[in-house]
Copies of this chain bind each other. A is one copy, B any other.
């Protein structure tokens, strides 16, 4: 029998490492979505698509605009390189397609602003930036406990994004376009701060940034300095709401990927991934007790990406709000960019209650 179920017709733009995963998620792991098209301009990605997508009935495009015209297409997952995230998102919105865009929308605040404006002009179109951690079961549990009041008022948030060291030097070249470590890595942590700190208003009101300060070092890759970047960064963000988030990011974590977060409230603390592990296996051997940890963010967050695809799909099909507000995603970029600025100029940066930068330092207590 032919299925009577209505499924969302989705295209994926970009079939690089993460794009290919998104394509697989929509194709095989999101029952209510149907992957109908995919776009890539890259030769090797095209070959992959012909082998892995085409046989399942997915139409492959080498031109983004053509793909947008695919008959019946309803939504696009933008997973290209960061530099074209915004452009494609805007085009898709203007073509009336719902958009799930990989983070960040852009490393430039004014560009993010354009996306936001475009989205506002097209209110029937749903646009979401894919902050995958918000779909991770442990983070969701932590959020629900926070909403329930188990930890009192969330006051301090510590969060880190630490990648396994990649000796190929890939991330040095990458730093030219990544926006820097605070925009590329800690953007997730910043998003989490906005999420948990706005829990007291059930997400209605974002906390307003009061100051940011960042420092960093190039411990293993001095060439990062050319791009105003570091391989280890520490940042601190104060909010006017009396809440503080502090972040660490690193490109040199030895055993693998270690992202972790503490949400510290007036009555308790929740930790997510304080004890990283790939599973439930431990080895007791002559050199001691050992366990492995995930080697990259996908090993850690695979299930979250699948859940993200599913929740985006459901929100569109049911015409409900998408789970992550665009304003919040813009605020995350704003804070990330400010941290990177602080790293580069060595200064603490202040903001007033309206979110405008203040030129002069001010006394605090």
Residues of chain B within 8 A of A290, CB atoms compared: 287-290
User: Least Cβ distance of A296 to chain B in Å?
Assistant: 15
Residues of chain B within 8 A of A225, CB atoms compared: 365
A343-B364, A344-B365 as given contacts; A141 in contact with B279, CB under 8 Å: yes
Residues of chain B within 8 A of A264, CB atoms compared: 232, 250
A363, B348: Cβ atoms closer than 8 Å = no
A266-B252, A267-B285, A346-B363 as given contacts; A156 in contact with B232, CB under 8 Å: yes
Bound Cα distance A2, B150 (Å): 51
B365, A228: Cβ atoms closer than 8 Å = yes
Residues of chain B within 8 A of A293, CB atoms compared: 284, 288-289
Stretch in contact with the other chain, from A11-19, A186-194, A216-224, A330-338: A216-224
A77 within 8 A of B: no
User: Least Cβ distance of A237 to chain B in Å?
Assistant: 9
Q: Which of A239-279 contact B (CB under 8 A)?
A: 242-244, 246, 248, 250, 252-256, 258, 264, 266-279
A155-B217, A236-B234 as given contacts; A58 in contact with B289, CB under 8 Å: no
Q: Which of A50-85 contact B (CB under 8 A)?
A: 54-59
A47 within 8 A of B: no
B266, A284: Cβ atoms closer than 8 Å = no
Residue of B whose beta carbon sits closest to that of A213: B213
Q: Which of A1-43 contact B (CB under 8 A)?
A: 1-5, 27-29, 31
0/1 string, A282-303, CB within 8 A of B gives 1:
1111111111110000000000
0/1 string, A157-180, CB within 8 A of B gives 1:
010000000000000000000000
Residue of B whose beta carbon sits closest to that of A24: B31
Q: Please report the total number of A residues contacting B with Cβ < 8 Å.
A: 91
B285, A150: Cβ atoms closer than 8 Å = yes
A276-B289, A345-B363 as given contacts; A155 in contact with B232, CB under 8 Å: yes
Bound Cα distance A248, B246 (Å): 9
Residues of chain B within 8 A of A273, CB atoms compared: 280
A27-B31, A242-B217, A345-B364 as given contacts; A156 in contact with B234, CB under 8 Å: yes
User: Least Cβ distance of A154 to chain B in Å?
Assistant: 10
B288, A280: Cβ atoms closer than 8 Å = no
A121 within 8 A of B: no
Bound Cα distance A217, B1 (Å): 52
A126 within 8 A of B: no
A282, B286: Cβ atoms closer than 8 Å = no
Interface residues of chain A, those whose CB is within 8 Å of chain B, are: 1-5, 27-29, 31, 54-59, 137-138, 141-142, 145, 150-151, 153, 155-156, 158, 211, 213, 215-217, 219-220, 225, 228, 232, 234, 236, 238, 242-244, 246, 248, 250, 252-256, 258, 264, 266-293, 343-348, 361-365
Can you list 29 contacts pairing A with B, beta carbon distance less than 8 Å?
A: A28-B31, A138-B280, A142-B281, A153-B219, A156-B217, A156-B250, A211-B215, A215-B236, A217-B242, A219-B242, A220-B266, A234-B246, A267-B285, A268-B284, A268-B286, A269-B283, A269-B284, A270-B283, A271-B284, A272-B280, A274-B282, A344-B365, A345-B363, A346-B348, A346-B361, A346-B362, A346-B364, A347-B348, A348-B348
Pick the 4 closest A-B CB pairs, nearest first.
Answer: A346-B364, A268-B285, A1-B57, A138-B279
